[in-house]
Amino acid sequence: MMRDPPIRCTKCHKTAIISQRYSGLHLCREHFIRDLEGKAKREIRKNRWLRPHDRIGVAISGGAASAAALTLLLKLTGKRRDIRITALHIDEGDADATERVQRLAAGLDLSVGCRDPSRDLKEDIQLLAEGCTAVATGATLDEEAAAIMAAFVSGEIASLGETEDPGCVRWISPFLLIREDEVRLYATLHHDEVFPDKPDREGLAGAVRDILRNYTDRHPSTLYAVSNLGGQIRRAAGDPKE
């Protein structure tokens, strides 16, 4: 029985490791990494997320997306002596996740805090980030699109226009325009770890993600369209003329 020939990279004709249905590109390891890092860098530059003398706390959970965020920022700041990267971890009682975090953050300052159920997880991270000028997360396009759709479904669309308090720590999310499966692949290419699949949230958030996942299977650009809509709402909320 004859096997199908391997899919070749659109850029160099090496064996592709991923096919992007939304772009039509097939990418080998090298060009996939370039593609993802290029998108993340553009998002960072557009939002001015890296600034001189920053101390950036990377929130790492032990999952693939946060490991990818740590990897990216260490790459981008490796030659900059004025920017310091530290790791932040909220211990939610998962011993395996905490052990992965310790391996991922080896050689870095690591701050660990305990989860307080009375607070939002973001609040716990912000308290742990005392002394940091910014906090980086591994939030992906899938999560961003789900949050936007959930705001529509719940009738809380005004929440999309909320801005952060200028006195609070700055939040950095370089993967907001990158698919979750690509972020996971980036992490596995850089770390000898077995990352568990991230379970869907229960309730509305989980239901919205299921709907988006099923629809995106048939319409690959859906997540980008939803993200663009959310961006338009945020810009309109910040500019009364819109």
Residue 233 has what pLDDT? Answer: 81
Q: Domain count of the chain?
A: 1
8 A C-beta contact, residue 234 and residue 160: yes
Whether 240 shows a pLDDT value over 60: the answer reads no
Domain, as residue range, for 183: 49-238
pLDDT confidence of residue 239: 46
Query: Is 70 exceeded by the pLDDT of residue 161?
Result: no
Question: Are the C-beta atoms of 36 and 178 separated by less than 8 Å?
Answer: yes
The predicted pLDDT at position 206 comes to 79
CATH number of residue 84's parent domain: 3.40.50.620
Q: Does any domain span residue 43?
A: no
Alpha-carbon distance of 165 to 182, in angstroms, equals 31
Residue 96 sits at the vertex; the CA angle it makes with 94 and 100, to the nearest 5 degrees, is: 120
Question: Is residue 1 domain-resident?
Answer: no
Contacts of 216 (CB under 8 A, 6+ apart): 222, 223
Q: At what angle do helices 64-77 and 180-190 cross, to 10 degrees?
A: 70
Question: How far is the C-alpha of 222 from the C-alpha of 215, rounded, in Å?
Answer: 7
Mean pLDDT of the chain: 90
The tens digit of pLDDT for each residue in 60-86 reads 999 999 999 999 999 999 989 999 999
| Band (210; pLDDT cuts 50, 70, 90) | confident
Whether pLDDT at 166 is above 60: no
pLDDT confidence of residue 77: 95
Least confident window among 146-160, 191-205, 228-242:
228-242
pLDDT at residue 2, rounded to an integer: 60
Q: Residues 27, 30, 32, CA angle at the centre, nearest 5°? A: 40
Express each pLDDT in 13-35 by its tens digit: 899 999 999 999 999 999 999 99
Residue 158: per-residue pLDDT = 73
Contact 88, 58 (CB under 8 A): yes
Angle between helices 203-218 and 141-154 (to 10 degrees): 120
Is 116 part of a structural domain of the chain? yes
Region for 13 from its dihedrals, namely left if φ exceeds 0, alpha if ψ lies in -120 to 50, beta otherwise: left
- The CA distance from 204 to 147, in Å, is 10
Task: Give the pLDDT confidence score for residue 41 in this predicted structure.
Answer: 97
The two three-digit tokens of residue 47, written as one number: 């939002």
Residue 28 belongs to some domain of the structure: no
Q: Which tens digits make up the pLDDT trace of 30-50?
A: 999 999 999 999 999 999 999
